Structure formats: structure tokens, C-alpha cells
Amino acid sequence: MSVSGGGAGGPAAVTRRAWEVFARQSYEEPLHHVGAVREDDEELALVSARSIYDEQPWIEMIIVPRDEVREAISA
């Protein structure tokens, strides 16, 4: 997603990276996908993920850049 903003030097494009969010409520269960966020950097993505997906009492939550996810099996 690109956002244009005005400034003295003209429009500036900012690319927001997509981050996939995974979480679990107990160590016995696997991580599962709970959603995604789009932010400029990792720190903002962590804050967004915590604030958006805080409806459950997660014991672990991780984010992964979408462009770093690799397909293990392809049909």
C-alpha cells in the first residue's frame, strides 16, 4: 500500500509492509494465524498487532513479514 503525502519537495511515497500475526493461548497449542497489520517498520507492527489482536489472553504473539513467508508445499 502506498500513501502519498505533500511536502516542500513534492509528494513522497511511503510503503507500508504487511506483517502476518500469529498467537497462542497456551504453550501446548500451536501458533495460529490471527490476522495481519500494515506498518512502516517492525516496532510499529508490534505495537499495532498487540493493540488490534488483544481480545484473547495470549501467552505468545509473533509477527512475520509477509514477504518472508515461504511456501513449504505447492500443489
Q: How far is CA 52 from CA 5, 11, 13, 17, 31, in A?
A: 25, 30, 25, 17, 17
CA 35 – CA 50 distance, rounded (Å) = 11
pLDDT tens string for the chain (75 positions)?
A: 334 444 455 455 567 999 999 999 999 999 999 999 999 999 999 999 999 999 999 999 999 999 999 999 998
| CATH placement of domain 16-68 | 3.10.20
CA 21 – CA 27 distance, rounded (Å) = 17
The model's pTM is 0.76
